[in-house]
Structure 1
Amino acid sequence: MTDTTMAAIAPASVNGVAIGAEAIREESLLYRDDADAIASARRALAIRELLRQRAVALGIADAGTELDDAVVDALIGREVSVPEPTESDCRRYYDGHPARFRRNEIVYASHILFAVTGGGALAALRHQAEQTLRRLLAEPEAFEATAREMSNCPSAGVGGSLGQLLRGDSVPEFERAVFDGEAIGLLPGLVRTRFGFHIVRVERRVPGEAVPFDEARAEIARFLGERVRHKAIQQYIAILAAQASIVGVALGEANGPLVQ
């Protein structure tokens, strides 16, 4: 990063504690794939500083202590109440998401991957993927040829075909896109995963069989518990932010690496 770019990174502060341009620059390297890496870095550092200050105020950490997972866990455990999901909560989720609770379900699918690379511009890559998807929605017969020409996956050599997929064969975002629905054909939206942007076509579905609620209950309870915890931590950070003097940072919904 050039000196000019460094000068353009304005510092921030939380309750008078400065977050310098160099710290923001270093943190931004972790968010190179974000649309605005600097803004993401500011939010992450501000959330970290908010939590550190609160931990010090409560005597959980000393003033000079770095914020680590143990301190965060102790702080959240003390300050955030996370209710356990009830039997009716689990049953309601099970009944509302039948596609997620099937075994031996098979999907035959193909994709075109626009891969995220370390030095690539995410916005430009997304734009390219969106343009390609629009063209294929108008000309679906061009899918295989386009996959061979443009996909960054080894499956490009076979027109993008992934063959048969079972649950657990792919990353969660891709799995949800192809399994949690009934659509056949080209999916109308891009699928974003850590690998990049995917244009996905579902060729065939083999329904499988339903998993009984009693077998799924523990998994559902874990999932709902994590979701409630995530939301509770977001709300907690929002309360801390509302009580703080924060300069140079837009926290928004207080999303950051500590609340993912």
Structure 2
Amino acid sequence: MRVLDRTDRPVPVTVNGVTIAAEAIAAEAQNHPVPRGKPGWAWQAAARALALREVLLQEARMRRIVPEPIELEEGKWEIDEEALIRQLLESALAPAAIDEAALRAAYNAAPDRFRGPSLFEAAHILFSAAPDDAVARAAARQRAEAVLADLKRDPRRFATLAAEYSACPSRANGGVLGQLASGDTVPEFEAALVTIKEGAISDAPVETRYGLHLIRLDARVRGEVLPFSAVLPHLREAQEKAEWVRASRAYVGELAARAEVTGIDLVETPWTEERQPA
């Protein structure tokens, strides 16, 4: 890739002579959150994304690929440009060779990672507060800690206090949530279920996106380790995706390096770099 010299005037973003409209870059920039302390980052990221898209489209057209859109979900189809890029990558990237022995070695090294869903029986008292409302969060925490103090004096009052204070419909049943499986609750709540002792109440209010919770864990059954044959399809799929990402990075990098680009440096930020806040 060759980036032409810049002048005092803004250099338009072009790819092999094709101009990327400033209006298109401004619209795309809305999809790129701005990290703190990095003014202009969203515009740069948007310009790179559209320039790389143009690189791929030009390659697809040079290969005379005819777009054949597929249905992404019921009633939603790819547009022609999306189909061209997908078909180009499908034709250019060879299927990954999966090393099943390496996958088995990874499984054997840490079988505890591959468990079936755990089951929990729990109850809670919810003090609701929006995640972006600091005042409401502070008030909810104060109420939760006051009720927790009551529970520490007499845990048998859990159902009564849930009926009185909880903002969850489960208050009608003393806060009881019934049987929960892994994935049924938000991650913060489940993390607490994993650590609380059976028959105990959380030592402190548990914060989630919904507010503050006092949680009682009545029972827990940890999921059993799954056999290698059961997890092999998932391991194979994960490896295929990882290999596809690696190969697609290399391929797009090669195309970008051959392109004549002005107004943006495609090498400065890798095309697949994760957007991380500063």
TM-score, scaled to structure 1: 0.56
- Alpha-carbon shift at residue 20 of structure 1 (Å): 1.7
Which structure 2 residues correspond to residues 69-84 of structure 1 after superposition, within 5 A?
69-84=82-97
Corresponding residue of 1:48: 53
User: 2-side partners of 1:106 and 1:229: how far apart?
Assistant: 35
Which structure 2 residues correspond to residues 219-230 of structure 1 after superposition, within 5 A?
219-230=234-245
- Alpha-carbon shift at residue 237 of structure 1 (Å): 0.8
Q: Does the Cα contact within 8 Å between 2:57 and 2:81 map onto a contact in 1?
A: no
Q: Secondary structure at the match of 2:259?
A: coil
Corresponding residue of 2:270: 253
Q: Note the alpha carbon deviations across 1:222-253, whole angstroms, 9 max, x for none.
A: 12111211221111111111122223334422
Q: 1:91 aligns with which of 84, 90, 104?
A: 104
Structure 2, unpaired ranges of 5+: 1-8, 36-40, 68-78, 146-165, 169-174, 197-201, 203-207
Q: Does the Cα contact within 8 Å between 1:48 and 1:67 map onto a contact in 2?
A: no
Residue type of the partner of 2:87? A
User: 1-side partners of 2:273 and 2:101: how far apart?
Assistant: 31
Structure with higher helix content:
1
Structure 1, unpaired ranges of 5+: 1-7, 116-124, 133-140, 146-155, 186-190
Corresponding residue of 1:22: 23
1:38 aligns with 2:39: no
Q: Note the alpha carbon deviations across 1:97-143, whole angstroms, 9 max, x for none.
A: 53441113257899x9846xxxxxxxxx9xx9xxx9xxxxxxxx989
Residue type of the partner of 2:258? Q
Q: 2:64 aligns with which of 35, 54, 59?
A: 59
% identical equivalent positions: 27
Corresponding residue of 1:121: none
Kindly tell me: are residues 56 and 99 of structure 1, through their superposed partners in 2, closer, same or farther at Cα, counting changes over 3 Å? same
Corresponding residue of 2:258: 243
User: 1-side partners of 2:111 and 2:44: how far apart?
Assistant: 38
Corresponding residue of 1:13: 14
User: 1-side partners of 2:230 and 2:130: how far apart?
Assistant: 35
Kindly tell me: are residues 78 and 10 of structure 1, through their superposed partners in 2, closer, same or farther at Cα, counting changes over 3 Å? same
User: 2-side partners of 1:48 and 1:143: how far apart?
Assistant: 52
- Alpha-carbon shift at residue 23 of structure 1 (Å): 0.6
User: 2-side partners of 1:230 and 1:41: how far apart?
Assistant: 20
- Alpha-carbon shift at residue 212 of structure 1 (Å): 0.5
Kindly tell me: are residues 101 and 25 of structure 1, through their superposed partners in 2, closer, same or farther at Cα, counting changes over 3 Å? same
Q: Aligned pair count?
A: 200
TM-score, scaled to structure 2: 0.53
Which has the larger Rg?
Answer: 2
Kindly tell me: are residues 216 and 51 of structure 1, through their superposed partners in 2, closer, same or farther at Cα, counting changes over 3 Å? same
